[in-house]
Amino acid sequence: MSAQSNEDSERLTQPLLRPATRNSTSQVAIVGSNVCPIESLDYEIIENDLFKQDWRSRGKVQIFQYIFMKWLLCFLIGLIVSGIGFCNNLAVENLAGVKFVVTSNMMLARRFGMAFLVFSVSNFVLTLVASVITTFIAPAAAGSGIPEIIGSISAVSSSLLIGKAGPMVHTGACVAALLGQGGSKKYGLTCRWLRFFKNDRDRRDLITCGSAAGIAAAFRAPVGGVLFSLEEMASWWRSALLWRTFFTTAIVAIVLRALIDVCLSGKCGLFGTGGLIMFDVTSANVTYHLVDVPPVLILGVIGGILGSIYNFLLERVLRIYNFIYEKGPAYKILLACTISISTSCLLFGLPWLASCRPCPTDATEACPTIGRSGNYKKFQCPPDQYNDLASLIFNTNDDAIRNLFSKNTDSEFQHSSILIFFFTCFFLSIFSYGIVAPAGLFVPVIVTGASYGRFVGMLIGRRSNLNHGLFAVLGAASLLGGSMRMTVSLCVIILELTNNLLLLPLIMLVLLISKTVADTFNGNIYDIIMKLKGLPYLEAHAEPFMRQLIVGDVVTGPLQLFHGIEKVGNIVHVLKTTRHHGFPVIDESPLSESSVLFGLILRSHLIALLKKKAFLSTPVPTGIEAFRQFSAGDFAKRGSGNGDKIEDIELTGEEMDMFLDLHHFTNTSPYTVVETMSLAKALLLFREVGLRHLLVIPKISNRSPVVGILTRHDFMPEHVLGLHPLLVRSKWKRVRFRFPRLIQIF
C-alpha cells in the first residue's frame, strides 16, 4: 500500500482542479521532491453514524440555510471575482498605459536614450515586485489570491509576454476556497451557516465555480468560463454544478457590464471605454465560400504543428528553469530580472529594424497615434509616418491583438514586421511563462497565433474573401487549439472575445484540425506542465494495457487494519508510523471465525477522536451516548494547512491502554471492488464517482475481508508500468506513446 501514503501535505486546495498548474507560483513546492505535496479531495460522502444522525436531524431551517448559503456563496464569488477582474484590467491598462505615454512623449522629443531608460527601468521594477511577491509572500498556490493579483498586475504591466487569465483563474479558485471556509478562522471571520460547507465535496464545487468566474472575468466570456471549467478543469461533474457555475458566471457578466457602464462615462483613465467584447471583429459582411476552405485547412495544419512545437519547447524551458530554481530564491529573482531586461531590449530595439511608412489616407484612426496606445505608433518616425512593428511590439498585448484582428487595415503591415513580431512572441512567451511571477498562457498564445494568422493572410492576399483581421482570428484559434487542445470551450471563448458568430464554422474547422494534428505529436500544455510539477492527475480514460491487468496485480505491501473496537496505543502507533489517509475497519463475524469488513475510517477522523479523548476502559461497544460529546463540526474539514497532526496529540500511558469504539465514526458504505476486477474498470469507477480510497475485497472469502486499498497513485500509468515492466514492450504501450490522445477512443 505504498501509494496510500504519498498524500501527506495540505498545501494545495485544489489538486484535481487544473488552475493550480496555470500559474507558475507553485513550482517552488514541487521541484526536487518525489513526494507530491498534494492531498486528494474526495467527492465521496462519508456515511458514518454521525453523518446519518446529522443528516436526519437537519430540519427545514437547516436545509434552507444550506441552499441559501450555497447560492449566496456563488453570488459572492461572482461579485468579488468580477470586481477583482475589473480592477486588474483597469490597473494593467493604466500602469502600462502611463508607461507607454511617458515613453512616447520622450520619443517625440527624440530623447531615445531617456525613453529606453524609463521603459526598461519601469519594466524592471514591476517585474521585481512581481517576482519578490511570488517568491516570498505567496510561494505556493495556497494564498488568498491577493498577492497573486498584485503580482499579476505588475508582471503584465511590465510588458512581459504573459497572460492575465491564468492568475485570474487561480484568484477565483482562492476566493471560492476562502469564502467556503468562511474567511479565515485565524481572524475570527467564520460563520455558523457555513458549517455545512466544510467538506471536500462542497469545497470542490465552490472552487469549480470560482475558476469559471476567473475565466469569465478575465475574458468577459461567461459561457466560455462555464465550458472551460467543464472541459478542462473539473475532474468530476454533475448537472447541478453546471447550473451553479452558470449562475456564478452570469453574476460576473452582469457586474462587469455595470462596471463598464462607469467607464463609458470616461472615469477609467487610460482603460478607455472598453465594452463587454474585448476584440470586436463584428463586420456584417463576412462572406466566405468553398474557395476559402483550403487556406483555412492549411492554417489549421500549420497551427497544430506550431502548437505542438510550442508545447515541446515550453517543457524544455521549464525543465531548465526548475534546474536553476533549485539553487535558491535569489536565482529565481535574477532570472525574472534577466527576462525583463531582455524583453525591454527586444521591444525597444526591434522596431528600429522596421522602416517608417506613410500614414494611410483612409485610416479610421488618428495616424500616427501620439500620447496614447493606438493602432499607428509613431515611435522614431518623422511626422505623418508610422512604424508598423512598433504598433505591434511597443504596445500592450491587448492593443496588439486588437490591432492584428482589425479589419480595413490590410495594408498596414509589412511582411517582415509581422514575421519579426511572430518569432519574438513565440520565443519570448515561452521564456517568460516559467519565471516566478503569476503568468497565464492564453494571451501570449493568442498574440502569437494572431500574428501567424495575419502573416498567412498576407501571403494569400486577394485570393481569399477573408480580410487579414479574420485570418488573425483563425490563426489565434489554430495556435490555441494546437497548444491547449480544448474544443468547445475554446470555440465559445473565441466567439465571446470576437463577437462574430458568422465565423463559427471556420473556427470550428480550424480548431478541429489543429487539435488533431497536434495530438499526434504530444499532449496538451496543461498535462505537460502538470507532469512537470509532479501533480498526479488521473486521466478519465483507462490505458489499453489496463484491460490486461486485474486489481490484484497492483495491490502491494502490507495492509494496516483496525478493529471495530481498537486499542488507543495501536491507533497512535499506526498513525505515527504510516502516512495513510484511510484505514479499513474490520469486525469479528458473529457466525464464523473469519472477520467481516465494517467500513473505512479516515485519518483526520481518528485524530479528531484521539483529540477528544473519548476513550473506553474496556472493549465494550458504546451506544447512542457516544454522540453526545461530538458534533459534526468536530469532524469538519479544516482549512488548508490547518489540519491537526498526530504528533500534536499527547496521551498518557494509561490512556494508551484504553480503547476506542470506531463503529460510529466509520464510513459504512465505502466503494469496493473484487480483486479479480479488471484494472480499467476499477479506474472508471474511481474516476467517475470521484473517490479517494477504493477498497479491494477478496474473491474467495476465507481470507481477510479486505486485501488492499487503491488510491490515485495506484492507477497512474507510470506506477502500473513500473510494477509490470513487461507491459512496456506491449503494442498498447507503443500505440500510447505514438498517439497519446487518439487512444482515448478505446
The least CB distance from residue 297 to its own copies, in Å, is 11
Q: In the complex with its own copies, which residue's Cβ is closer, 383 or 590?
A: 590
| 366 touches its own copies by CB under 8 A | no
Instruction: Tell me which of 72, 87, 189, 261 binds its own copies, using CB under 8 A.
Output: 261
φ, ψ dihedrals at 591, nearest 5°: -105, -30
Which of the residues 495 through 514 are near its own copies (CB under 8 A)?
495-496, 499, 501-502, 504-505, 508-509, 512
Instruction: Tell me which of 2, 33, 72, 257 binds its own copies, using CB under 8 A.
Output: 257
| DSSP assignment of 438-452 | --BSHHHHHHHHHHH
Q: How far apart are alpha carbons 174 and 480 in whole angstroms? A: 26
Which of the residues 583 through 622 are near its own copies (CB under 8 A)?
589-592, 594, 596-597
| 491 touches its own copies by CB under 8 A | yes
Residues sharing a CB contact under 8 Å with residue 140, sequence separation 6 or more, in sequence order: 11, 12, 25, 26, 28, 29
| DSSP assignment of 662-701 | -GGGSBS---EEETTSBHHHHHHHHHHHT-S-EEEE-SST
Full 3-state SS string of 637-657: CCCCCCCCCHHHCCCCHHHHC
Count of chain residues binding its own copies (CB under 8 A):
96
Q: How far apart are alpha carbons 364 and 362 in whole angstroms? A: 6
Which of the residues 550 through 579 are near its own copies (CB under 8 A)?
550
Residues sharing a CB contact under 8 Å with residue 483, sequence separation 6 or more, in sequence order: 307, 308, 310, 311, 441, 445, 518, 524, 525
| 222 touches its own copies by CB under 8 A | yes
- For residues 417, 418, 422, 425, the Cα torsion angle rounded to the nearest 10 degrees is 60
Region from 14-22, 336-344, 457-465, 487-495 binding its own copies, contact rule CB under 8 A: 487-495
| 462 touches its own copies by CB under 8 A | no
Region from 223-231, 266-274, 320-328, 447-455 binding its own copies, contact rule CB under 8 A: 223-231
Which spans in 551-678 are helix H?
568-577, 603-612, 625-628, 653-656
The Cα angle at residue 413 between residues 117 and 106, in degrees rounded to 5: 20
Q: In the complex with its own copies, which residue's Cβ is closer, 44 or 315?
A: 44
Region from 102-110, 175-183, 251-259, 577-585 binding its own copies, contact rule CB under 8 A: 251-259
- Tell me 159's DSSP state: T
Q: In the complex with its own copies, which residue's Cβ is closer, 412 or 675?
A: 675
Q: Are 582 and 601 in contact (CB under 8 A)?
A: yes
Q: In the complex with its own copies, which residue's Cβ is closer, 110 or 729?
A: 729
C-alpha cell at 146: 491577493
| 75 touches its own copies by CB under 8 A | no
Instruction: Tell me which of 226, 333, 437, 480 binds its own copies, using CB under 8 A.
Output: 226
Q: Where do we find the cell 472615469?
A: 267
Q: In the complex with its own copies, which residue's Cβ is closer, 290 or 330?
A: 290
Which of these, 448, 166, 377, 397, lies nearest to 278 by C-alpha position? 397
| 242 touches its own copies by CB under 8 A | yes
Residues sharing a CB contact under 8 Å with residue 336, sequence separation 6 or more, in sequence order: 127, 128, 130, 131, 435, 436, 437
The least CB distance from residue 364 to its own copies, in Å, is 15
Which of the residues 726 through 745 are near its own copies (CB under 8 A)?
731, 735, 742, 744-745
Which of the residues 18 through 57 are near its own copies (CB under 8 A)?
44-45, 47, 52, 55-56
The least CB distance from residue 540 to its own copies, in Å, is 6
Region from 20-28, 225-233, 425-433, 716-724 binding its own copies, contact rule CB under 8 A: 225-233
Query: Which amino acid type is present at position 473?
Result: V
Instruction: Tell me which of 33, 701, 722, 723 binds its own copies, using CB under 8 A.
Output: 701
| 704 touches its own copies by CB under 8 A | no
Which of the residues 651 through 690 are near its own copies (CB under 8 A)?
668-669, 671-674, 676-678, 680-681, 684-685, 688-689
Exposed/middle/buried for residue 7 (C-beta within 10 Å: 0-12, 13-18, 19+): buried
The least CB distance from residue 718 to its own copies, in Å, is 21
The least CB distance from residue 76 to its own copies, in Å, is 16
C-alpha cell at 491: 470555440
